[in-house]
Amino acid sequence: MSVNSERDDTTMSVKYTLDITEGPQGFIEDIIFTGLDKTKEYVMRRELEIKAGEVFSKEKLITSAQNLYNTGLLANLDYDLMYGQTENGVILNWMLEEGNTKDIQFGATFGGTLNSFPISAFVQWNDHNLFGRAKDLGISLTLSPDTQSLNLSFGDKWFKNYRWANSFSFGVSHSKYDGELQLGVGAPSYYNGRNTDTWPLGYSSATEWLNANKEYPSSKNLMSYDLLTYSLGYNTGYTFIFPIGRLTVSGGASVSLNKAFYDDIYMPFEKLIYKYGQRWQFSNKISFGFQWDGRDYVTNTTKGYVLSASMTYAGGILGGLSNYIKVNGSAAGYLKLFSFKNKEDETKNIMLCASTSVSYMLKQFYNYEANGWNWYDPKLGATKYEMLYIDGMTIGRGFSTVIDQAFLWDNMLELSYVLVKNVVQAEAFVSATAVNDELSDIKNGMNWYFATGFGLKLKISGFPLGLYLVKNATYRFEGTDTTRSFNWLGGSYFHGKRDTSGMSLVLAISLSLI
């Protein structure tokens, strides 16, 4: 580089000219890994965007580091650039610290099906790096008073040199459901989710049941049943890596065999439960989806966003008792508000996450009860547990369960701070969830459930438990009202003189549906 100056006495100014001659570009002479004891080197090498023999690229270096960390096999990583043996050659040395990829867990866990006992004993063994080849093998056994399950799974995120993930699963489960409706005395037909000429036991007519807002009768008129399910599943997906994110296109198929068992003195009110009780029934599903992941890291995210969409096609031309189409779209954004070092020189972040998710239950084309092939309402082919729902824990936190919905729109703004890494984090949130049991009624207004609060959330595997103080409110149709009204809901904690004062203590646990 040389500098030339040119003085102008008239304008009292000086002009400088910089002549720059670029030197030869550095290139990657070799790439080496240190610190690998359990993992095969090719597992890490295939994650690299930067290759030996290429011109050095900082962009590819950063992407490669993200890919390595996102394998989930490393506790820490760093790199060093060293002079090579040839002119302008650079040796890239990846210094890796492997994490724990095998675990055996046993004890108690929180969660279950929608109506199940929330605490279960479990035994779980996972190897996320089978034979050092980054293959996943898992076996889990769960036991609770009303749910028992055994699940086996095997998967691989790569197929040869392609980011083509494949996984297989097999499971058997038994669930007990209490407090279910029975068919009323003199009722003309089972309830299919649409017919209004029938009623459950405890009522004498359909009009009486409708006037009571379909409230459940006393427990003496309810029944229980057991559901046994065998399932086999396959999932696949391909991930494309770009400088600004990762695109995953996925699909899957599952087949399950189901049978309901109940005492002969019982007669279920719901038609699908009755059919499950008559003989073994298949439930066949295929799914499609895509995800654009613009986060820097999949775990311990500090910035970025995620967009996803999925569709589940149940029954239809596939056959089986479950017949519906479910579609979902979601988006989430992550922003680091503050960052600082603690006394242990650990980086601590205060994160803001905004998320939204919308789901629909759509009509399915199938031959409903030999009435001919046509498009039929999802409530005719899906149990109330297969429809959309507010669980009161992760969706609509603090509310009682709201099931059998055809539309759900969930929105949340969350502020989080990790108190102990991978153990517990503090959270503050505000959420708004809208539901409707009929798609055609959305234009007339949706029922809204609002929640805001703060609490602690465990990040320990097997204990997805959160404890929150929550304030709730609704904007919905009450009873037979034709207009919506806004109402604050009271709580037991910090309760004042007003009925609507106070907050609720919410134990949030993971849920899964049949």
Secondary structure element (H or E) that encloses residue 231, with its range: strand 222-242
Is-contact 340 348, C-beta < 8 A?
A: yes
Instruction: Write down the pLDDT at residue 106.
Output: 59
At a CB cut-off of 8 Å and minimum separation 6, what does 440 contact? none
Q: What is the CATH number of domain 2-98?
A: 3.10.20.310
- Given a cut of 90, whether residue 195 has pLDDT beyond it is no
Distance CA 328, CA 331 (A): 10
Could you tell me the pLDDT band of residue 22, with boundaries at 50, 70 and 90?
Answer: low
- Half-sphere exposure at residue 473, Cβ-oriented, CA atoms within 13 angstroms: 13
Boundaries of every domain in the chain: 2-98
Instruction: Write down the pLDDT at residue 513.
Output: 34
CA distances for 414 relative to 26, 275, 291, 337, angstroms: 44, 43, 21, 12
> Residue 423 has what DSSP assignment?
T
What percent of the chain has a predicted confidence (pLDDT) above 70? 92
Could you tell me the pLDDT band of residue 478, with boundaries at 50, 70 and 90?
Answer: confident
Higher pLDDT, residue 110 or 416? 416
* Mean pLDDT, residues 181-203 taken together: 92
Q: Quick check: helix, strand or coil at residue 64?
A: helix
* Mean pLDDT, residues 397-423 taken together: 90
- DSSP annotation string for 67-135: HHHTTS-EEEEEEEEEE-SSTTEEEEEEEEEE---EEEEEEEEE-BSTTS-SEEEEEEEEEEEETTTTE
Is-contact 36 96, C-beta < 8 A?
A: yes
Instruction: Write down the pLDDT at residue 512.
Output: 36
At a CB cut-off of 8 Å and minimum separation 6, what does 329 contact? 308, 309, 310, 357, 358, 359
Q: Quick check: helix, strand or coil at residue 223?
A: strand
Instruction: Write down the pLDDT at residue 46.
Output: 93
Instruction: Write down the pLDDT at residue 348.
Output: 87
Q: For the range 247-251, what are the long-range contacts, defined as Cβ-Cβ under 8 Å and sequence gap of 24 or more?
A: 247/290, 247/291, 247/292, 247/293, 248/290, 248/291, 248/293, 249/289, 249/290, 250/165, 250/287, 250/288, 250/289, 250/290, 250/291, 251/286, 251/287, 251/288, 251/289
Q: Quick check: helix, strand or coil at residue 194?
A: coil
What residue has token string 């779209």?
329
Distance CA 196, CA 214 (A): 11
Could you tell me the pLDDT band of residue 113, with boundaries at 50, 70 and 90?
Answer: very low
Instruction: Write down the pLDDT at residue 369.
Output: 83
Q: For the range 378-381, what are the long-range contacts, defined as Cβ-Cβ under 8 Å and sequence gap of 24 or more?
A: 378/323, 378/324, 378/325, 378/326, 378/406, 379/192, 379/193, 379/194, 379/404, 379/406, 380/192, 380/193, 380/194, 380/323, 381/272, 381/314, 381/315, 381/321, 381/322, 381/323, 381/324
Q: Read off the pLDDT of residues 259-300 as tens digits, 9 standing for 90 and up.
A: 999 999 999 999 999 999 999 999 999 999 999 999 988 877
Q: Quick check: helix, strand or coil at residue 272?
A: helix
Instruction: Write down the pLDDT at residue 465.
Output: 73
Instruction: Write down the pLDDT at residue 99.
Output: 84
Instruction: Write down the pLDDT at residue 460.
Output: 63
- Residue 296 tokens, joined: 């820097």
Distance CA 435, CA 452 (A): 18
CA distances for 256 relative to 38, 295, 476, angstroms: 37, 35, 37
Distance CA 95, CA 32 (A): 9
φ, ψ for residue 17, nearest 5 deg: -120, 125
Highest mean pLDDT out of 75-89, 304-318, 392-406: 304-318
- Given a cut of 80, whether residue 156 has pLDDT beyond it is yes
> Residue 401 has what DSSP assignment?
P
Distance CA 396, CA 448 (A): 9
Average pLDDT value for the chain = 88
Instruction: Write down the pLDDT at residue 114.
Output: 47
Q: Read off the pLDDT of residues 343-393 as tens digits, 9 standing for 90 and up.
A: 777 788 999 999 999 999 999 999 988 789 999 999 999 988 899 999 888
Instruction: Write down the pLDDT at residue 514.
Output: 31
The whole model's pTM is what? 0.81
Higher pLDDT, residue 140 or 304? 304
Q: Read off the pLDDT of residues 26-84 as tens digits, 9 standing for 90 and up.
A: 889 999 999 999 999 999 999 999 999 999 988 899 889 989 988 888 888 999 999 88
- Given a cut of 70, whether residue 111 has pLDDT beyond it is no
| Calculated CA dihedral for residues 414, 415, 421, 424, nearest 10 degrees | -70
Could you tell me the pLDDT band of residue 151, with boundaries at 50, 70 and 90?
Answer: very high
* Mean pLDDT, residues 180-201 taken together: 92
Distance CA 380, CA 375 (A): 11
